[in-house]
């Protein structure tokens, strides 16, 4: 069954809970930790019924945004960069997929994560026949 708008906030809440520290530091964090967090988020997205590609974009965007390392998934890099730009705007930052000014010291919020989810999942609707 496809995800509906009613499902976005509960999933955003779950993803938020799975973040060890949702504070936006703008620094470079622990790359191993970033990958662990991303893997955990991918698993949660997959359990919620999101396909592998979208789960990867969502999870790599979130973990990369908080920890500062580039994505492990090179074929999806551009989409993940765009997803991070959407997340940054929703979190109160400015910029685009190439250059961002982060809202340093502020926690990433559940509504910002829900906005990211809606953006990524809306891409599937646009691609559908």
Phi, psi angles (nearest 5°) of residue 127:
-80, -15
Q: Is the pLDDT of residue 1 over 70?
A: no
Written as six digits, the tokens of 103 are: 């809202």
What Cα–Cα distance (Å) separates residue 69 from each residue in 8, 24, 29, 62, 86? Answer: 26, 13, 7, 11, 17
At 111, is the pLDDT very low, low, confident or very high (cuts 50, 70, 90)?
Answer: very high
pTM for this prediction? 0.88
What's the pLDDT score for residue 98?
62
**109 is in which domain, residue-wise?**
5-127
Q: Is the pLDDT of residue 120 over 60?
A: yes
Domains contained in the chain, number: 1
- 36-73 pLDDT, tens digit per residue, is 999 999 999 999 999 999 999 999 999 998 888 778 88
């Amino acid at each position: 069954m496809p995800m509906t708008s009613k499902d976005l906030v509960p999933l955003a809440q779950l993803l938020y809970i799975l973040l060890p520290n949702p504070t936006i530091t703008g620094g470079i964090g622990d790359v191993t930790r970033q990958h662990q967090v991303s893997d955990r988020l991918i698993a949660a997205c997959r359990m919620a019924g999101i396909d592998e590609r979208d789960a990867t974009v969502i999870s790599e965007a979130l973990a990369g945004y908080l920890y500062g390392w580039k994505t492990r998934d090179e074929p999806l890099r551009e989409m993940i960069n765009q997803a991070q730009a959407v997340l940054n705007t929703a979190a109160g930052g400015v910029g685009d997929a190439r250059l961002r000014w982060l809202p340093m010291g502020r926690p990433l919020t559940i509504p910002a994560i829900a906005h990211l989810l809606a953006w990524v999942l809306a891409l599937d609707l646009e691609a559908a026949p």
